[in-house]
């Protein structure tokens, strides 16, 4: 019998460290949302808030050119974000971290064989005893054009 998954709220009530971590993640997500709205349009798709620590806002960008542009605008951004976020921000740290987007394998393995090769493999499979090799050869022979 399988257990039902627990709601995150009930798990957080039982574990104070997990609750603090969850609250911190929500806080950073909200700040990131505000940052996205505050940044100029050309930056918002390439930047995200990574952390805020000791009056330092840490921003990740996906390439070095955006990191340089943000560093040039650091004083203005610190002032603007301080007022928008209602937090004192004196420093801006920009790090280049390419955003990871997992590759979607849109097609299966499309190995195909010429008909003559498939016929040869099928003939070989018929000439050997039953077993894993025979099964594998028959499966391979089915992949002809």
Tell me which fold the domain 8-96 belongs to: GMP Synthetase; Chain A, domain 3 (3.30.300)
Hey, where are the domains in the chain? 8-96, 110-145
pTM: 0.60
pLDDT of residue 58: 94
The whole-angstrom separation of Cα 78 and Cα 18 is 30
pLDDT of residue 103: 64
pLDDT of residue 93: 95
Average pLDDT over residues 61-77: 90
pLDDT of residue 101: 66
CA dihedral sign of residues 17, 18, 23, 25? positive
Q: How does pLDDT run across 9-46, given as a tens digit for each residue?
A: 777 777 778 888 888 999 899 889 988 888 888 888 89
pLDDT of residue 105: 62
Q: How does pLDDT run across 83-137, given as a tens digit for each residue?
A: 887 889 999 999 998 877 666 666 665 667 788 888 888 888 899 888 888 888 8
pLDDT of residue 96: 94
């Amino acid at each position: 019998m399988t257990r039902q998954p627990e709601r995150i709220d009930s798990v957080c009530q039982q574990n104070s460290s997990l609750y603090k971590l969850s609250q911190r993640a929500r806080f950073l997500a909200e700040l990131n949302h505000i940052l996205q709205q505050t940044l100029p349009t050309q930056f918002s798709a390439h930047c995200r808030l990574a952390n805020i620590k000791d009056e330092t806002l840490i921003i990740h960008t996906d390439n070095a050119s955006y990191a340089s542009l943000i560093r040039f605008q650091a004083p203005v951004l610190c002032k603007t974000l301080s007022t928008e976020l209602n937090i004192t921000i004196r420093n801006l740290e920009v790090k280049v971290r390419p955003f990871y987007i997992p590759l979607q394998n849109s097609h299966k393995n499309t190995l195909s064989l010429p008909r003559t090769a498939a016929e040869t493999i099928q003939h070989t499979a018929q000439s050997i005893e039953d077993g894993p090799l025979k099964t594998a050869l028959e499966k391979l022979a089915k992949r002809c054009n």
